[in-house]
Amino acid sequence: MRVINCIFVTFSICLLSSCSLPNSASSPATDAVNSQSSALTSLSDAYSNYFDIGAALNRTQTSGQDPQSIAIVDKHFNTLTPENDMKWESIQPIEGQFTFEGADALVQYAKKTNKSVIGHALVWHEQTPSWVFEDDQGNEASRELLIARMKSQIFALAGRYKNDIKGWDVVNEALNEDGTMRESKWQQIIGDEFIELAFTFAAQAAPKAELYYNDYNLYNAAKMDGAITLAKRLKAKGIRIDGIGEQGHYGITPPLDELELSIQKVASLGLKMMITELDISVLKFPEGENMGADISLNFELQDDYNPYAKGISAESNNKLAQAYSDLFALFLRYEKEIDRVTFWGVSDNNTWRNNWPMKGRTDYPLPFDRSYQAKPFVRTLIKQAQL
């Protein structure tokens, strides 16, 4: 199978004409969603004694063009993360030109509906425009220039929302699977110290916000050990880090035992643990079902890898329900250590999973289906919290 090194595309984004979002959207479509789920307790209410339950929102939703999703979000989630709208390429696509419309829309909606906001992500090697790493001659930026750009981005973004954002994914995906530092442009030009700098600038720009390291596959012991080393390094230098986020992009058999050990490791360091981007794919993957979330990987679509284009099998549906139930049972056992569980999206029709690592698949990773109906396992998750 041929690997194409290119960025995948998910769904089209609507341009924001106005940033106002209906507080509680009401239309025939949303009324249908509300009446369908009215008998259902809210997920975040059910888990309110344990941890926050959130969702990532995209521009289609925050621009008010997906009221059915917003009706679900109004009811079921109490913390929101922008799926893309606070990434560097969204905020400062061209040097000095800041575009906060998408980010503002999400923050305004969260304020109106009394939900917390998690910022994602200040420093990441992906979705960062190439100009960031170049000087005005097109040569590689010097260390000083890159540090200055990092500082100005963090102050502009984290500073703007310093009273609005509960916590920031300060550095995203800086580790390899074996726990060593990823050789990203940040690491190559600045050195490992880019981590210390990012956390220092974030603490200065948003003193009240919690600061997190976020990555995928942190259930993998070697990778989590790398994150722990990184956190200890920061702490030893008196630099604040408040938590570690395991993204939680899993296959149909989540790695429960490894995940449990990784939660224990984070807790033993006195840090908060968050599951920050939860979804469970029912599809198979060229590199194994828990292949993580390296978005630079892209494979040609093959029918064999897209078996449920016309509907999911009962067997896979049952496995999905079981996987979610097992995961939430684990989260509940560690509710003192876990601060938040955020799903990476709302419903199956609008998830990056349909396009990674192959564009155009039909996946079923989220708690709400393509008709915006709660899947039966949502009721089970609610019951588990009420036992």
Residue with smaller CB distance to ligand G3I, 196 or 294? 294
Residue with smaller CB distance to ligand G3I, 37 or 61? 61
Q: In this chain, which residue has its C-beta nearest to ligand G3I?
A: 352
- Per DSSP, 130 falls in state G
Residue 250 amino acid letter: Y
Cα distance between residue 11 and residue 83, in whole Å? 12
Residue with smaller CB distance to ligand G3I, 10 or 380? 10
Burial class (CB in 10 A: 0-12, 13-18, 19+), 54: buried
Closest approach of Cβ 7 to ligand G3I, in Å? 5
Q: How far is CA 376 from CA 15, 46, 69, 278, 343, in A?
A: 34, 16, 17, 18, 17
Judge contact between 42 and 76, C-beta under 8 A.
yes
Which residues have C-beta within 8 Å of that of residue 373, sequence separation ≥ 6?
A: 33, 36, 37
Closest approach of Cβ 121 to ligand G3I, in Å? 6
Closest approach of Cβ 323 to ligand G3I, in Å? 18
Residue with smaller CB distance to ligand G3I, 80 or 382? 80
Q: How far is CA 81 from CA 99, 168, 232, 340, in A?
A: 17, 10, 26, 12
Neighbour count for residue 371 (Cβ, 10 Å): 12
Tokens at residue 281, please?
A: 């794919």
Complete DSSP assignment for 13-57: -PPPS-----SS--SHHHHHHHHHHHTSPPHHHHTTTT-EEEEEE
Residues that bind ligand G3I (CB under 6 A): 7-11, 13, 83-84, 87, 126-127, 172, 216, 247, 277, 293, 295, 352
Residue with smaller CB distance to ligand G3I, 37 or 92? 92
Cα distance between residue 31 and residue 40, in whole Å? 14
Closest approach of Cβ 90 to ligand G3I, in Å? 7
Peptide bond into 357 cis (omega under 30): yes
| Helix/strand/coil for 138 | coil
Neighbour count for residue 308 (Cβ, 10 Å): 15
Tokens at residue 94, please?
A: 């061209």
Closest approach of Cβ 295 to ligand G3I, in Å? 4
Residues annotated as catalytic are: 173, 277
Closest approach of Cβ 9 to ligand G3I, in Å? 4
Residue with smaller CB distance to ligand G3I, 75 or 125? 125
